[in-house]
Amino acid sequence: MSETWRQFWHLLKRDVPAFIALIWLVLTVILCTWGYFTVQTASLRQNLNMRLIPPGTSHGLAYLLGTDGLGRSYVERLLVAGATSLVIAASVVAISAVIGGALGIISGNAPSAVDTVIMRVCDVIMAFPSMLLALIALYTISTSPVVLIGVLAFTRLPIYIRTARGEALRTRGLLYISAARMSGTRPMAVTFRHIVRAALPAVWTLVTFEIALTMLTESGLSFLGVGIQPPGASWGLLVSDGQTYLYSSWWVAVLPGIAIMATAVALRVLGGVVSSVLEG
Amino acid sequence: MALAISRRVGASVVALCALIVFVFVMARMTGNPAALYLGEGASQQQIHEYEVVHGLNKPVWNQFFSYVRDVVHGDFGQSTLYNAPAMHVALSRFPNTLVLALVTFVLGLLIGSVLGSVAAYWEGRAADKVITAISTAALSFPSFWLALVLVLVFALKLGWLPSSGMSGLSSYVLPIVTLLVANLGVVVQAVRDSLVGVLRSEYVAAATAKGMRRWYVVTRHAWRNASIPVLTIAGATAVGIVNGALIVETVFDWPGIGQVVVNAVLNRDFALLQAAVTVIGIAVVVFNVLIELSYVFLDPRIRR
Amino acid sequence: MSLLEVKDLTTSIVTRRGTVHAVQGVSFGVERGSSVCVVGESGSGKSVMARSIIRLLPREARIVSGSVVFDGTDLRTLPEKRLEDLRGMRIGMLFQDPMSCLNPVLTIGTQITETIRRHLRVPRAEAYKRAVELLGEVRIDNAERRMADYPHQYSGGMRQRVMLAIALSCDPDLLIADEPTTALDVTVQARILDLLEDLRQARGLALLLITHDMRIVERVADQVLVMYAGQIVESGKRKDVLGSPQHPYTEALLGAVPDIDDSGARTSRLTAIPGSPPDLTATLAGCRFAPRCGYARLDDGCASAEVELRAVGAGHLVRSCHPAIAREAKG
């Protein structure tokens, strides 16, 4: 593992965009976590005398990025919303990676009938337009974060199943598995030790890219009004709120969008490095 | 080959049926449509009449079978929101979305192929790095946000293009650009990665060793092979365009089927939702069949 | 003057792990109509060397120095367009894996005729006629009918025959064959080699054949080059190199071939070479083979000082501190 980290660090040092991406992500995570625990109530404090102040005026640090339509500090709003966006994306990816990864490994080792059923179900899930499914499910069941996470995790399962299955099939064919088998280790132990270890790099790479994608989908659903509900906030919802003031106060809609985009770009850039370190 | 076709198309058909059943189950599970439609002040009598008219007083499985029977006969019931036959509303809006989707798909494939080929041809050079960076950014734009920024700049500030609605050619520009950006990101990376792989293959080396001109090797030997995996991904982007249409049509107030779906969901108009989902589903199935047919054309290995 | 004269050819490949010095100052010549075999383990740089000749290298690879003079023209500095005119026309090439070197989406006929039309500028019908003849020459049955088939409808051996037909389609002077039989079954191997030899002799074609199989060398070679870690370690006529190998590495390679006498019993023991070839990303000094050499000792300095190729007989060169001839003289 330490070797992997060293190689990761070695590549990062020579790759300026990836380095910037890492700094952006670390800062975002730290600031949003801090924001979630310290300014959450402050971020909801309205001040109608301070409505729609543009960024960069000298009203103190809390008004650094201006205020929204209800006079709330936009820095604080962005940090709290960011925490929600990140937590949702991370939960979705964690759930679908674990379940999908496990199903993929099972599929790759199961009798062909089971394997076929799992793969066909994947085909069907992939044929759903995910936004449409999520839109219907969220509106009819309830627009709670739990349903949001569940639906998004469900639509992303196939990609983990396919990846993990591919790795499992590849690994199973490799010589060291048969060697381990012949040396008398129990088949289950072999499966778990070798195949999981061999499937992890591909899944990790996928996770990095998928966090970006999930964040975009969540923000889209929040924008349509079926994701995160007020007074909660996510970056997508902030953009939606900002629509009203688009002409007069552009920053309300533009800033959270930049946050989404920068974070998504950073994750994708970093995903490239992760992929070249882990998968060679 | 027949198997491959039936697999992909079959998956879309199953997904379509599942979605219709899902919509039905959701519709019946979540509250009383009559009460919702008629509002808080409705009397028992009004609600009862509404239920009889819409068959809501029968058992759920009974409702389901009569629903399936109606669907098979092409009868999706009455849209409560538009007060017109649901299928009629869905079909009348569908062409507006189809135009957006087709233009996006074709432009995405054309521009994406050019940019992806340029990047692959000069792999690792400046052109590749710039194009890869742009496509990464394109993939990371939240489409609703991009739509708003485009409206802000080109409609509100510059006043060059209309900010919403469908009126004349200029109104197509912003919705298409918005849909195109995300689509292009996917296609460029698919074309680039596929072509990079093909250009490193032995048969490209062999064609070069035969003395074929570089341009000929790329156009005649590499492109057709590279297009096969690109097609798979392009097929998957159809679903992505449907997702995009939901948002883009909402932002631009575009009278397409995506807007119908969003309105139907927000107003609990389940007849309309079912009709719209069916239309979208059939369109995706037809699209997949077309993709499969182009495989047959491109790859002799799956011909018999 | 030789048909092909390679001088001090050095090719490096840039990888993420570092720069691989795949070919390090290789010099040799190929006479008109003669056959030269290059032998060595995988990773000895022989394939990169062969591909460097017609600059058929991945973009990470770069020819650092040296010259490749083919019939009076230096291919290393020749503009790409002029080189394209030469490839396929005067120098044909065979590849290791016939399963992957034919384009899967183009018919066999197309892949032969496009070469003919490109170089000989003949009408379509004439190119077609010539392609059918060529398929007959490489002994494909029903040649006319099989022109419209795709590569996946051909077996491995047949695909290599097609590659041979393509390589020979414009009557080249030189054929570069990079392990052309390695990927094939043993029986198919023999038939392809026979065909290659027949056609080569009938046409007076020069052959540069890359292989790791000493039995092929024995059958085909006029001249033998032994490569190790990017360098030529021994070269000479087949009779000299195979008959009295001088380099410990050549001896080991020959030892690794089971020698079967008339009675079918093994007369010499099958010996594997202990150790593995050096990492070519490192800057190496001295004899590259020293760590695996049975004769090298810590104090003889051959692991630190550069060892030159030295003549041990007429046209027989060896790069070793411990050639067989010196060992015999000593002991």
Output the CA–CA distances (angstroms, integers) from residue B231 to B235, B254, B294, in the order listed.
6, 28, 8
Determine how β-strand C4-15 pairs with β-strand C61-70.
Answer: antiparallel
ipTM of the complex: 0.86
Report pLDDT for B42: 66
Q: Give the Cα separation of A221 and A142 in Å (integer).
A: 13
SS3 state of residue C111: helix
Report pLDDT for C267: 46
Check residues B100 and B35 and name the one with the higher pLDDT. B100
- Among residues B162, B174, B163, B180, which one has the least CA distance to residue B101? B180
C-alpha angle B298/B212/C201, rounded to 5°? Answer: 115
Q: Give the Cα separation of A257 and A65 in Å (integer).
A: 14
Q: Do B30 and A257 touch (CB under 8 A)?
A: no
- The C-alpha of B140 sits at a distance from chain A's nearest C-alpha, in angstroms, of 5
What residues contact residue C288 under an 8 Å CB cut-off, 6+ apart? C228, C229, C230, C231, C233, C278
Helix ranges (H only) for chain B are 2-29, 33-38, 44-54, 60-72, 86-121, 126-140, 143-150, 170-199, 202-209, 214-216, 223-251, 257-266, 270-298
Q: Do B212 and C118 touch (CB under 8 A)?
A: yes
Q: Give the Cα separation of C180 and C212 in Å (integer).
A: 11
Which residues in chain B have their CB less than 8 angstroms from residue A133's CB?
Answer: 19, 22
If one counts every other C-beta atom within 10 angstroms of the C-beta of residue C260, the result is: 11
Which residues in chain C have their CB less than 8 angstroms from residue B224's CB?
Answer: 105
- Inform me whether the C-beta atom of residue B275 falls under 8 Å from chain A C-beta atoms: no
Taking only Cα atoms into account, the Rg of chain B, rounded to an integer number of angstroms, comes to: 24
- Inform me whether the C-beta atom of residue C12 falls under 8 Å from chain B C-beta atoms: no
Q: Which helix (H) or strand (E) holds A138?
A: helix A130-140
A226-230, B26-30, C146-150: range with lowest mean pLDDT: B26-30
Q: Do C89 and B211 touch (CB under 8 A)?
A: yes
Average pLDDT over residues B164-169: 79
Residue of C56, C105, C150 to mutate, interface with B, max B Cβ within 10 Å: C105
pLDDT band of residue C266 (cuts 50, 70, 90) is very low
- Inform me whether the C-beta atom of residue B125 falls under 8 Å from chain C C-beta atoms: no
Which residues in chain B have their CB less than 8 angstroms from residue C87's CB?
Answer: 208-211
Q: In this structure, are residues A48 and A56 in contact, taking their beta carbons and an 8 Å threshold?
A: no
What global pTM score does this model have? Answer: 0.82
Q: Give the Cα separation of C45 and C60 in Å (integer).
A: 15
Average pLDDT over residues A174-183: 57
* For residue A17, cis peptide bond before it (omega within 30 degrees of 0): no
Residue A96 burial (10 A CB sphere; 0-12, 13-18, 19+): buried
Buried residues in C70-100 as b, exposed as e (16+ CB within 10 A): bbeeebbebeeeebbebbbbbbbbbbbbbbb
A61-70, A184-193, B159-168, C142-151: range with lowest mean pLDDT: A184-193
If one counts every other C-beta atom within 10 angstroms of the C-beta of residue C6, the result is: 25
Q: In this structure, are residues C162 and C150 in contact, taking their beta carbons and an 8 Å threshold?
A: no
Check residues C294 and B121 and name the one with the higher pLDDT. B121
Report pLDDT for C265: 47
Check residues A232 and C242 and name the one with the higher pLDDT. C242
- Among residues C57, C54, C66, which one has the least CA distance to residue C24? C66
Tokens at residue C134, please?
Answer: 């060529």
- Among residues C71, C2, C11, C68, which one has the least CA distance to residue C32? C2
Which residues in chain B have their CB less than 8 angstroms from residue A249's CB?
Answer: none
A185 has pLDDT over 60: no
Mean pLDDT for chain A?
Answer: 81
- Inform me whether the C-beta atom of residue B155 falls under 8 Å from chain A C-beta atoms: no
Tokens at residue C213, please?
Answer: 């199989």
Check residues A236 and A59 and name the one with the higher pLDDT. A236
| C contact residues 148-167, partner B, Cβ 8 Å cutoff | 150, 152, 163, 166
Residue of B36, B140, B261, B288 to mutate, interface with A, max A Cβ within 10 Å: B140
Model confidence pLDDT, tens digit, residues C62-113: 999 999 999 999 999 999 999 999 999 999 999 988 888 999 999 999 999 9
Q: Give the Cα separation of A214 and A220 in Å (integer).
A: 10
- Inform me whether the C-beta atom of residue B206 falls under 8 Å from chain C C-beta atoms: yes
Residue A204 burial (10 A CB sphere; 0-12, 13-18, 19+): middle
Long-range CB pairs of C281-289, under 8 A, 24+ apart, other chains included: C281/C15, C281/C17, C281/C18, C281/C19, C281/C20, C281/C21, C283/C21, C284/C21, C284/C229, C287/C319, C287/C320, C287/C321, C288/C228, C288/C229, C288/C230, C288/C231, C288/C233, C289/C228, C289/C229, C289/C233, C289/C247, C289/C248, C289/C249, C289/C320
> Phi/psi at C109 (nearest 5 deg)?
-55, -50
Q: Give the Cα separation of C229 and C247 in Å (integer).
A: 14
Rounded (10°) angle between helices C156-168 and C108-120: 10
Report pLDDT for C38: 94
Amino acid at B153: V
Q: Do B207 and C85 touch (CB under 8 A)?
A: no
Q: Do B11 and A137 touch (CB under 8 A)?
A: no
Residue of B210, B212, B215 to mutate, interface with C, max C Cβ within 10 Å: B210
Report pLDDT for A11: 77
Report pLDDT for C167: 92
Q: In this structure, are residues C93 and C176 in contact, taking their beta carbons and an 8 Å threshold?
A: yes
B273 has pLDDT over 80: yes
Mean pLDDT for chain C?
Answer: 87
B139-143, C186-190, C297-301, C302-306: range with lowest mean pLDDT: C297-301
- Inform me whether the C-beta atom of residue C106 falls under 8 Å from chain B C-beta atoms: yes
Q: Do C104 and B200 touch (CB under 8 A)?
A: no
Rounded (10°) angle between helices B86-121 and B257-266: 120
Which residues in chain B have their CB less than 8 angstroms from residue C119's CB?
Answer: 211
Q: Do B242 and A137 touch (CB under 8 A)?
A: no
Length of chain A: 280
Q: Give the Cα separation of C245 and C52 in Å (integer).
A: 27
Report pLDDT for C258: 53
Check residues B22 and B201 and name the one with the higher pLDDT. B201
- Inform me whether the C-beta atom of residue C78 falls under 8 Å from chain B C-beta atoms: no
Output the CA–CA distances (angstroms, integers) from residue C128 to B207, C17, C89, C168, in the order listed.
18, 48, 17, 15
Which residues in chain C have their CB less than 8 angstroms from residue B298's CB?
Answer: 105
Mean pLDDT for chain B?
Answer: 83
Q: Give the Cα separation of C20 and A261 in Å (integer).
A: 40
Q: In this structure, are residues C53 and C26 in contact, taking their beta carbons and an 8 Å threshold?
A: no
Model confidence pLDDT, tens digit, residues A4-61: 788 778 777 778 888 898 999 999 998 888 888 887 776 677 777 767 677 777 666 6
Q: In this structure, are residues B275 and B84 in contact, taking their beta carbons and an 8 Å threshold?
A: no
Tokens at residue B101, please?
Answer: 């989707």
Average pLDDT over residues A207-235: 86
- Among residues A84, A85, A79, A73, which one has the least CA distance to residue A35? A79
Residue of B144, B164, B270 to mutate, interface with A, max A Cβ within 10 Å: B144
A61-70, B25-34, C86-95: range with lowest mean pLDDT: B25-34
Model confidence pLDDT, tens digit, residues A94-105: 999 999 999 998
Which residues in chain A have their CB less than 8 angstroms from residue B21's CB?
Answer: none
Output the CA–CA distances (angstroms, integers) from residue C240 to C218, C316, C317, in the order listed.
11, 7, 10
Report pLDDT for B29: 63
- Under DSSP, the state recorded for B163 is S
C264 has pLDDT over 50: no
Q: In this structure, are residues C102 and B209 in contact, taking their beta carbons and an 8 Å threshold?
A: no
Amino acid at A114: V
Model confidence pLDDT, tens digit, residues A116-171: 888 888 887 887 788 888 888 887 777 888 989 999 999 899 999 999 888 888 77
Model confidence pLDDT, tens digit, residues B104-118: 999 999 999 999 999
If one counts every other C-beta atom within 10 angstroms of the C-beta of residue A221, the result is: 28
If one counts every other C-beta atom within 10 angstroms of the C-beta of residue A254, the result is: 18
- Inform me whether the C-beta atom of residue C54 falls under 8 Å from chain B C-beta atoms: yes
Which residues in chain B have their CB less than 8 angstroms from residue C93's CB?
Answer: 206, 209-210
Buried residues in C183-193 as b, exposed as e (16+ CB within 10 A): bbeeebbebbb
Q: Give the Cα separation of C294 and C138 in Å (integer).
A: 45
Q: Do B144 and A223 touch (CB under 8 A)?
A: yes
Report pLDDT for B54: 66
pLDDT band of residue A69 (cuts 50, 70, 90) is low
What residues contact residue A188 under an 8 Å CB cut-off, 6+ apart? none
Q: Give the Cα separation of C103 and C1 in Å (integer).
A: 37
Q: Which helix (H) or strand (E) holds C207?
A: strand C206-211
- Inform me whether the C-beta atom of residue C120 falls under 8 Å from chain B C-beta atoms: no
Q: Give the Cα separation of C245 and C251 in Å (integer).
A: 6
A91 has pLDDT over 80: yes
Nearest CA in chain B to C169: B210
- The C-alpha of A82 sits at a distance from chain B's nearest C-alpha, in angstroms, of 15
**DSSP states of C138-177:** TT-TTHHHHTT--GGGS-HHHHHHHHHHHHHTT--SEEEE
Report pLDDT for C205: 92
Check residues A180 and C114 and name the one with the higher pLDDT. C114
Chains in touch with B (≥3 Cβ pairs < 8 A): A, C
Q: In this structure, are residues C37 and C220 in contact, taking their beta carbons and an 8 Å threshold?
A: yes
Taking only Cα atoms into account, the Rg of chain A, rounded to an integer number of angstroms, comes to: 22
C270 has pLDDT over 60: no
What residues contact residue B121 under an 8 Å CB cut-off, 6+ apart? B195, B199, B218
Q: In this structure, are residues B271 and B79 in contact, taking their beta carbons and an 8 Å threshold?
A: yes
- The C-alpha of B9 sits at a distance from chain C's nearest C-alpha, in angstroms, of 24
Q: Do A261 and B243 touch (CB under 8 A)?
A: no
Average pLDDT over residues A217-245: 84
Report pLDDT for A184: 57
Tokens at residue B218, please?
Answer: 């790329």
Model confidence pLDDT, tens digit, residues A250-260: 888 888 888 88
Q: What percent of chain B has a predicted confidence (pLDDT) above 90?
A: 30
What residues contact residue C182 under an 8 Å CB cut-off, 6+ apart? C96, C211, C212, C213
Which residues in chain B have their CB less than 8 angstroms from residue A225's CB?
Answer: 266
- Inform me whether the C-beta atom of residue C186 falls under 8 Å from chain B C-beta atoms: no
Model confidence pLDDT, tens digit, residues B254-268: 999 999 998 888 887
Q: Which helix (H) or strand (E) holds C197?
A: helix C186-203
Chains in touch with A (≥3 Cβ pairs < 8 A): B
